[in-house]
């Protein structure tokens, strides 16, 4: 069995076919227990093993030191927007934010609910067409942290260079590019990501937090809102999203089987090159929407000459088995979300479709 539909959904997104096959094979009887993992207790040794293995794989693939804790939470990345300032933004300090698009603006908005915030950079006036260089970012001395979004899923931009914030903790929303390329993850104090783009199904949120920042969690928070609760209980204080963590563990094993982040990065680079080359070869027909230096490897965005042509493009793509390419409702246009599970082969087929569409339209003129 192969998947026939080429699925560019931005999230929840495609998951590796090999992983789906394992889930299918194990669904009714998990490793001889006679029950499904969906029906297992989170206190059972089977789940404990999954939980441990998932945490270990994150450490291994991301090359994280022992000072990092891996947490599995719920509520999506959007809940982290609030939990971060709730835990780390204390009186007399400011939460500094780099505003590079919708998601980072939403993070800042939540920050304002809990304390003083500071806009360290914004590309809003430039229609979020780019991400900043380090030199453009102002970090106040009393910053509790600097918050950034490594990949801007909606607009289609991405940081290719890491920010250096010195002694100020760097916090990053990696929802849409986590595990898609190598990074020096040890430069971050805190990383978070909803799983539904690059790591599996929706419902589980991955959080990675370093000891020194964890020690700064405010006291007196509701139990389930404190990161300490998760770190101290291996995310087992209450019922975790067990199926999501199980699935995420399989995705991590799949990444490892591909050769780890170095191999994944190589394939992802080829995928984005195919699409951007197709766009750049005919810039009058396919119009890129962001500055070239800031182009995302995960969400390739473009416009056609008119909304009418875009509609036609989307409809014809669907007839060719290509779905999920309508741009976010806030920006319009076309967006190809090419997370880890999207194959090179399917991107090649998509580029061929783009060419057929262009030739037909230009021939019709």
Ligand X SMILES: *Cc1c(COP(=O)(O)O)cnc(C)c1O
The footprint of ligand X on this chain (CB under 6 A) covers a number of residues equal to 11
Q: Which is nearer to ligand X, 16 or 201 (CB)?
A: 201
Annotation says 197 is catalytic? yes
Q: How far apart are the C-alpha atoms of 272 and 288, rounded to whole Å?
A: 13
Q: Measured between alpha carbons, how far is 343 from 268 in angstroms, rounded to an integer?
A: 9
CA 70 from centre of chain: 16
Q: Per the residue annotation, which of 99, 173, 177, 346 is the catalytic one?
A: 173
Which C-beta is closer to ligand X: that of 152 or that of 189? 152
| Shortest separation between residue 76's beta carbon and ligand X, angstroms | 3
- DSSP 8-state class, residue 305: S
The closest of 20, 15, 26 to 1, measured between CA atoms, is 20
| 103 lies in the binding site for ligand X (CB under 6 A) | yes
DSSP assignment of 6-60 equals EE--SSS----HHHHHHHHHHSSSGGGSSS-GGGS-TTSHHHHHHHHHHHHHHHH
List the structure tokens of 282: 């005919």
Strand order in the sheet with 170-173: 68-73, 205-210, 190-194, 170-173, 143-149, 94-99, 116-122
For ligand X, which is the closer residue by CB, 210 or 335?
Answer: 335
* List 99, 155, 177, 197, catalytic entry: 197
Give yes or no for a contact between 335 and 301, defined as CB atoms under 8 angstroms apart. yes
**Which positions from 123 to 162 touch ligand X by CB under 6 A, shown as an x/- string?**
--------------------------x---x---------
Stretch of 70-78, 155-163, 206-214, 277-285 contacting ligand X, by CB under 6 A:
70-78
* CB 177, CB 196: distance < 8 Å: no
In the set 103, 155, 249, 346, the catalytic residue is 103
Q: Interface residues for ligand X in 250-289 (CB under 6 A)?
A: none
- Report whether 293 contacts 130 (CB < 8 A): yes
For residue 73, what are the β-bridge partners? 205
Contact region with ligand X (CB under 6 A), list: 23-31, 140-148, 171-179, 317-325: 171-179
Binding window for ligand X (CB under 6 A); candidates: 74-82, 139-147, 234-242, 339-347: 74-82
Residue 11 found at the interface with ligand X (CB under 6 A): yes
Tell me how far, at minimum, the Cβ of 327 lies from ligand X, in Å. Answer: 14
Residues that bind ligand X (CB under 6 A): 11, 76-78, 103, 149, 153, 173, 175-176, 194
Q: Which residues are catalytic?
A: 103, 173, 197
């Amino acid at each position: 069995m192969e998947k026939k539909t080429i699925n560019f959904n931005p999230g929840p997104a495609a998951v590796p076919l090999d992983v789906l096959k394992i889930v299918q094979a194990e669904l009714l009887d998990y490793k001889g227990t006679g029950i499904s993992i969906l029906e297992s207790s989170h206190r059972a040794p089977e789940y404990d093993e999954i939980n441990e293995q998932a945490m270990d794989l994150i450490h291994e693939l991301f090359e994280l030191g022992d000072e990092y804790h891996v947490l599995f939470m719920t509520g999506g990345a959007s809940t982290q927007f609030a939990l971060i300032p709730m835990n780390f933004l204390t009186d007399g300090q400011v939460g500094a934010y780099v505003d590079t698009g919708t998601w980072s603006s939403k993070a800042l908005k939540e920050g304002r609910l809990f304390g003083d915030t500071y806009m360290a950079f914004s590309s809003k006036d430039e229609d979020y067409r780019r991400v900043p260089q380090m030199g453009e970012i102002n970090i106040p001395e009393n910053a509790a942290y600097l918050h950034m979004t490594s990949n801007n899923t909606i607009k289609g931009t991405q940081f290719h260079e890491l920010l250096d914030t010195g002694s100020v903790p760097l916090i990053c929303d990696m929802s849409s590019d986590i595990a898609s390329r190598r990074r020096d993850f040890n430069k971050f104090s805190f990383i978070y990501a909803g799983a539904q783009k690059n790591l599996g199904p929706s419902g589980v949120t991955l959080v990675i937090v370093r000891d020194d920042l964890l020690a700064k969690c405010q006291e007196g928070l509701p139990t389930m809102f404190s990161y300490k609760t998760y770190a101290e209980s291996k995310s087992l204080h209450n019922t975790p999203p067990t199926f999501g963590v199980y699935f995420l563990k399989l995705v991590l094993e799949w990444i490892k089987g591909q050769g780890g982040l170095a191999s994944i990065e190589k394939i992802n680079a080829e995928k984005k090159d195919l699409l951007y080359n197709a766009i750049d070869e005919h810039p009058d027909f396919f119009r890129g929407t962001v500055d070239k230096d800031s182009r995302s490897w995960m969400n390739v965005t473009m416009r056609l000459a008119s909304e009418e042509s875009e509609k036609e493009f989307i409809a014809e793509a669907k007839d060719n088995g290509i779905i999920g390419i309508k741009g976010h409702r806030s920006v319009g246009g076309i967006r190809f979300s090419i997370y880890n599970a999207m194959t090179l082969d399917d991107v090649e087929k998509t580029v061929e479709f783009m060419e057929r569409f262009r030739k037909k339209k230009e021939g019709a003129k």
